[in-house]
Amino acid sequence: MFEPVKIAPSILSADFMSLGRDIAMIEEAGAGYVHFDVMDGHFVPNLTIGVPVLKQLKKIARIPVDVHLMIANPLEELPWFLDAGADIVTVHAEAFDGPEQMEQAIHLIKEAGAKASVSVKPNTPVDAIAGVVPLLDMALIMSVEPGFSGQKYIEGSEAKVAQVVQIARAAGHELEIEVDGGIGVATAPGVAAAGADVLVCGNAVFAAQDPAAALRAVQQAADDARLLALAGA
Ligand code: DX5
Ligand code: ZN
């Protein structure tokens, strides 16, 4: 059955001085989630937003807030974001010393009533998360090296999306697959056809002349590709 993809604009590319206006604008344009990029200066060479901004955002957002934790100590710091009201929380497979720790983080997220997601960076194989796929609400495939918005999509990332689809199918488990990095009208069709359900867009939306129109254009391009893929399946 056809389901439209969800666009998750990354507020890293928004106007922080007018964040409330930008959130209202993307909600109006039909965004599925607000993507909230947390970087700690250790896991990635950049430092962004954290708990105080998330708390304020949660007071005004009418759609779920999708928190992407690019942090070195998820087990220690994850509870802060859960307490602040994160709806979906993504942790990185690379931040853990093995699968037990990763499972522990997933359980922490779920116990708090949030949706649990795990991500792999471009050089991390999907195998790293295959064992926990049955526990996940979402899996995030990074299609750029995490750290900065506005980078170029790494060709071939759609193959990793297809791999997650296969693993989930084999396990009889349903989850959302999100892709993050360099997604716009040109790259959205490939990942949508491969099975992506959620597309993060930073620059493609917020750096556009008309962000609402840009969001709808990415949505349209992705949905067309998804429909075509379904028809061919
Ligand atoms: C990158 C972040 C992304 C990024 C997306 O490390 O996780 O969410 O802001 O920005 P674009 O869509 O511009 O690549
Ligand atoms: Zn992100």
Q: What pLDDT score was predicted for residue 43?
A: 98
What is the C-alpha separation between 116 and 88, in angstroms, rounded? 6
Q: Whose CA is nearest to atom 6 of ligand 1?
A: 146
Question: How many whole angstroms from 56 Cα to the centroid of ligand 2?
Answer: 19
125: its two tokens: 């194989």
pLDDT confidence bin for 1, thresholds 50/70/90: confident
b/e map of 161-194 (b: 16 or more CB within 10 Å)?
A: bbbbbebbeeeeeebbbbbbbbbbeebbbbbbbb
Q: Parallel, antiparallel, or unpaired: how do β-strands 34-39 and 138-142 relate?
A: unpaired
User: Mean pLDDT, to the nearest integer, of 127-146?
Assistant: 98
CB atoms within 10 A of CB 202: 26
User: Mean pLDDT, to the nearest integer, of 155-167?
Assistant: 98
Is pLDDT of 153 > 90? Answer: yes
Question: How many whole angstroms from 78 Cα to the centroid of ligand 1?
Answer: 20
**Predicted confidence (pLDDT) per residue in 53-105, tens digit:** 999 999 999 999 999 999 999 999 999 999 999 999 999 999 999 999 999 99
Query: Which phi and psi angles does 111 have, rounded to 5°?
Result: -60, -30
Is pLDDT of 233 > 90? Answer: no
Q: Residue 145 burial (CB < 10 Å; 0-12/13-18/19+)?
A: middle
CB atoms within 10 A of CB 198: 23
Which residues are marked as active site? 37, 180
